[in-house]
Amino acid sequence: MIVKKFYGRTVEETLGKVKEDLGEDATLLLVQKVKKRGLKGILGLTEVEITAAKEINFEFHEKVFSIPYKDEITSELPALYELKDMLRREDVDSDIINNIISSYIEATGGNKIKLKDLDTNILEILLMGLIKVEQPALDQSKFRAIFIGPPGVGKTTTLLKLASYYTLEKNRETAIITTDIYRTGAVEQLKMYGKILDIPIEVTFNVREFERALRKSNSKDVVLIDSAGRNRKDGEYIEKLRKFIYTIPLQGLKIYLVMSIIDNSRYLKEIFDTYKQLYPTSIIMTKLDEATSLGNIINVPSYTNLPIAYITNGQNIPGDIEPAESKKLSNLILKRNVRVNE
């Protein structure tokens, strides 16, 4: 479906523009008066805005996908072959690849001349639309965050990266609470960095102790909560984790589902299906520095419908973490595969 906005002095004039561009069968989604763009709008002048849509005939798309030989695609539609090959190399899920190709054909109007060379500007826009990101809470005055996810993805290390940022760079009063009593190494790591950063570490064994730790940390600007990584099929543990989460005040709460970029997409889907009952607010993707393909940057937000909040790319504390930016991540994928004009 193509959706466009049209502007004019009157409804009749604007409708004429809609019919000329999208045809008689266009669907009107919204008709309203809006402020004019630019200086005239500042002066209070208005115009008619019509949002209209038109369904696209995808017969052409099906023809493209049904071509069985690489040589035929290369000779007739080389841009689509290059696009499909690139996304496969990055391990993007096949259904998402088909959607991207359909959108790319839409954007070019199905023009065979435009489909001879891959347009990286169009592709960048399409990828940015798929790589949903979250405005990070780095400058939020007061918030609480709990890190959930399977074992081995780097929850504790990621928590310490953010704790270091808030303490050293933002001078925020920070506290750490851990419910991960199953790994002695994790508790010792937290205590060691707690001493280095001069921030309190509370180790809790049950919900009552967790509530007490939350009250004790109530005056802190930032409270970061570590959770244990257990077998995703351990329903009893997920239920226990739910009770911990329900104890945290909702205002300013972030529930970060931590996932590793290097895991295969099928496993990540299983992880999300396990943890979605805890209502995560966003994703943190770790181990970018170890990744041989970047498809999960597209796959995960597409499957979970959650934004990526942070990306980590190393073990250094502090450092090796940054807020996710859709433009930067889409360019990272493109630069690995095609020549991008700076």
| Predicted confidence (pLDDT) per residue in 182-240, tens digit | 666 778 888 898 899 999 999 988 889 999 999 999 899 999 999 877 666 667 788 88
Mean pLDDT, to the nearest integer, of 166-184?
84
Q: How far is CA 264 from CA 94, 152, 273, in A?
A: 13, 14, 15
Model pTM score: 0.74
| pLDDT (0 to 100) of residue 176 | 93
Mean pLDDT, to the nearest integer, of 117-142?
82
| pLDDT (0 to 100) of residue 61 | 45
DSSP state of 318: S
| Domains of the chain, earliest start first | 2-54 (no CATH), 59-130 (no CATH), 143-324 (3.40.50.300)
Mean pLDDT, to the nearest integer, of 316-322?
89
Average pLDDT over the chain reads: 83
Q: Over 70: is that where the pLDDT of 101 sits? A: yes
CB atoms within 10 A of CB 313: 17
Q: How far is CA 21 from CA 15, 18, 55, 94, in A?
A: 10, 5, 13, 33
Positive or negative: CA dihedral 167, 170, 172, 177 = negative
Going by pLDDT thresholds of 50, 70 and 90, the confidence category of residue 68 is very low
Strands 143-148 and 174-178: unpaired
Q: What is d(CA 333, CA 331) in angstroms, rounded to the nearest whole number?
A: 5
Q: What is d(CA 29, CA 52) in angstroms, rounded to the nearest whole number?
A: 5
Q: Which residues of 216-244 are buried (b: 16+ CB within 10 A; e: fewer)?
A: ebeebbbbbbbbbbbebeeeebbebbeeb
Q: Over 90: is that where the pLDDT of 175 sits? A: yes
